[in-house]
Chain A
Amino acid sequence: MTLVSGWGRFPVVDSEVLRPRSFEAVGAAVADVSGSVARGNGRAYGDAAIGAVRTIAMTGFDRVRSFDPATGRIRLEAGVLLSDLIDTFGPRGFLPFVVPGTRFVSVGGAIAADVHGKNHHGEGGFGRYVDSILLRTGQGETIEVSREQNSDAFFATVGGMGLTGIILEATMRLRPVETGWIRERVISASDLDAAMRALEASDSATYSVAWIDCVARGRDLGRSLIYLGEHASADELAEGADRFPIGKNPGLAVPLDLPSMTLNRYTIRAFNELYYRMGARRAGGDHVVSLYPYFFPLDSLSDWNRIYGRRGFLQHQCVIPEQGARAVLGDILDRVSKRGDASFLAVLKKLGHGDGLLSFPLPGYTLALDFPVKGDILNFLDEIDRLVVAAGGRLYLAKDARQSRATFEAGYPALPRFKAIRKSLDPAGNIRSKLSQRLFDEV
């Protein structure tokens, strides 16, 4: 057994980690024990990518099977990282349609969580650009699933957190781009109302996201910087600029777990003040930035999760339906700012419809907050969850490590349907993760 955890380093649990080298070996690994789940690059925060008994590491499967440079259609193994796709196909004029806030996620993980990017409000999630999936079920079959073929299994697999089986390969579409640069516009918003208005007014922007200073209080509550983005065309680049910028691998690493002292209300407040002022100064006109800092601002510091110290941290990401979102978000932010120990920065963004049965997005606003694991944080988050549930919202499974069954069931009405499909694909229940055990497996 090995101690395993997600990106948040909480919880840390026992699971046997296997690294199969062939699809046959994947099948064997799933067949001979009850309680396995696939793991991509381990960027889910909580316990989603940890098998109840056995965890099947997939990053070794990183081959491209075919690529059509005329259409951008690509078939690949599930362990290919988006960073690899961007570095390889970006210079050839293609990027993934959807990228999350880190590029170090695998294609399998991106499908399983149906990840959303800064374009979800207009262009939907990762799964929308996936045409078909080669799935190894718990029952031992290898099947191709798509919108036309085994469509139940397809919509259960997109956003299904690995619980329909192991994704071996996928066919998807890439976005044709002229350059690897983004034309960015920064808007500063002095409070939550202004931030929500700005996001609302930016519905036609391809990319939009707000970084909220969540220690600001009173009149400043919800003050934020909104980052809009469009793909830059070749003639928008500066003279002599490369069409495709180089994505440097993170050079800096956090060498050790910082003592939890480092993050306190004073350091966070000082950081946020600085961040807000620097951003506000850039507000206004358009400028062209490399896709790397635009999409992946945190990737330049590797192992940054260690900043939160040995005990790890929790991310709380909820989505609240548009109706009534203002009041609930205000209430949450108010409680968070009063505590004063939350994240450096919170992320606020508008989402559209999700595609998969358990896909997180629904039309409304999503707020993501980080908290170090300490004190009464679990109770505090339960309190926040009650507000989310009352507003008809839900929590993101890829970030979750602690929500209750009741919170989960209230937020995901398609759960019974998902369970029925899962049962038909895996009657013996071979595929199980720590997350599914916690939230919905029959005990």
Chain B
Amino acid sequence: MTSRKTVLVLGGSSDIGRAAARAFAKAGYDVGLAGRDAAALEPDAVDLHARYNVEASTWTFDVLDTASFDGFVAGLPVLPDVVVSIIGLLGVQQNAESDLAHATTIMRSNYEGPSLILGLFAEKFLARGHGTIVGVSSVAGDRGRASNYVYGSAKAGFSAFLSGLRARASRGGVHVVTVKPGFVRTKMTEGMKLIGPLTVDAPVVSDAILNAVEKKTDVVYVSGKWRLVMLIIKTLPEAVFKKLKF
């Protein structure tokens, strides 16, 4: 077998997931792609092998099926060096305001599932003594906004989970990266009004992820502009913030 490093991408069929898989494969990693429908990921695995001559495999993984997580991790033939979670669900805020089931799905997809699975990997990585965990969160988690606080609050929870995990795991040689993309042109945001200068394409996010893994960065705002925007938004007094429409 090869002595190459391996990365496992959870949410491999998303645009950012596909881009991340390519970025890691290009850097020489063997890649595992995990998603709800493993068969649907097969063409991407073939693509990675044809392009970069790395091994690529596909795995079935459903972030809402937390009961399957132990079995999923135990079933992997090798414990990856890096695991990246790109799983997220934007949902529809208006619906989530009255439809509890929808709100629950958003919360579980963005917070519960990703946190639990990455927490599990962290335990294995700590036992082994090394590994990198990447969680793709969102600038939407930096402050709840009227227009998407169900999603935003779940991302806030996820960001907090990652920062706590980082503090604990770093002592055991395990690195945790929090990635906060702003607007990204993907399937998820298709048809939405995005602010041009603040919007990036998926490969920009994936390059930032790879870079953070290699440089051991803790928190990455994909576009530097967002760090500033969020700094302003975070420091606005609540009395002012609640009057703003966004």
Looking at chain B, what size class is its interface with the partner chain?
Answer: 10 to 19
Across the two chains, which residue of chain A brings its CB closest to B45?
A63
B51 touches A88 (CB 8 A): yes
Q: Which residues of B contact A65 (CB under 8 A)?
A: 43, 46-47, 50
Of B26, B47, B187, B190, which contacts A64 at CB under 8 A? Answer: B47
Q: Which residues of A contact B51 (CB under 8 A)?
A: 64, 67, 88-89
A69 to B187 Cα, complex, angstroms = 33
Q: Which residues of B contact A63 (CB under 8 A)?
A: 43-44, 46-47
**Cβ < 8 Å to B, chain A residues 2-45:** 19, 21
Please encode chain A, from 50 to 88, with 1 for each CB lying within 8 Å of some chain B CB and 0 for all others.
000000000000011111010000100000000000001
B50 touches A67 (CB 8 A): yes
Q: Which residues of A contact B187 (CB under 8 A)?
A: 21
Looking at chain A, what size class is its interface with the partner chain?
Answer: 10 to 19
A223 to B47 Cα, complex, angstroms = 47
A88 to B46 Cα, complex, angstroms = 15
Q: Which residues of A contact B190 (CB under 8 A)?
A: 19
Q: Which residues of A contact B47 (CB under 8 A)?
A: 63-65
Q: Is B53 an interface residue (CB 8 A)?
A: yes
Tally of A-B Cβ pairs under 8 angstroms: 25
Q: Which residues of B contact A67 (CB under 8 A)?
A: 50-51
A337 to B137 Cα, complex, angstroms = 58
Q: Which residues of B contact A92 (CB under 8 A)?
A: 53
A66 to B46 Cα, complex, angstroms = 7
A88 to B47 Cα, complex, angstroms = 11
**Residue in A66, A67, A92 whose Cβ sees the most chain B Cβ within 10 Å:** A67
Shortest C-beta distance, B45 to chain A (Å), equals 10
A64 to B21 Cα, complex, angstroms = 14
A248 to B67 Cα, complex, angstroms = 46
Q: Which residues of B contact A74 (CB under 8 A)?
A: 50
Q: Which residues of B contact A69 (CB under 8 A)?
A: 53
Please encode chain B, from 24 to 61, with 1 for each CB lying within 8 Å of some chain A CB and 0 for all others.
00100000000000000001101100111100000000
Shortest C-beta distance, A66 to chain B (Å), equals 6
Q: Which residues of A contact B43 (CB under 8 A)?
A: 63, 65
A-B contact pairs, 25 of them (CB 8 A): A19-B190, A21-B187, A63-B43, A63-B44, A63-B46, A63-B47, A64-B46, A64-B47, A64-B50, A64-B51, A65-B43, A65-B46, A65-B47, A65-B50, A66-B46, A66-B50, A67-B50, A67-B51, A69-B53, A74-B50, A88-B26, A88-B51, A88-B52, A89-B51, A92-B53
Residues of B at the A interface (CB closer than 8 Å) are 26, 43-44, 46-47, 50-53, 187, 190
- 17 more contacts with CB within 8 A, not counting A21-B187, A66-B46, are A63-B46, A63-B47, A64-B47, A64-B51, A65-B43, A65-B46, A65-B47, A65-B50, A67-B50, A67-B51, A69-B53, A74-B50, A88-B26, A88-B51, A88-B52, A89-B51, A92-B53
User: What 3 A-B pairs come out closest when comparing CB atoms?
Assistant: A63-B47, A67-B50, A64-B50
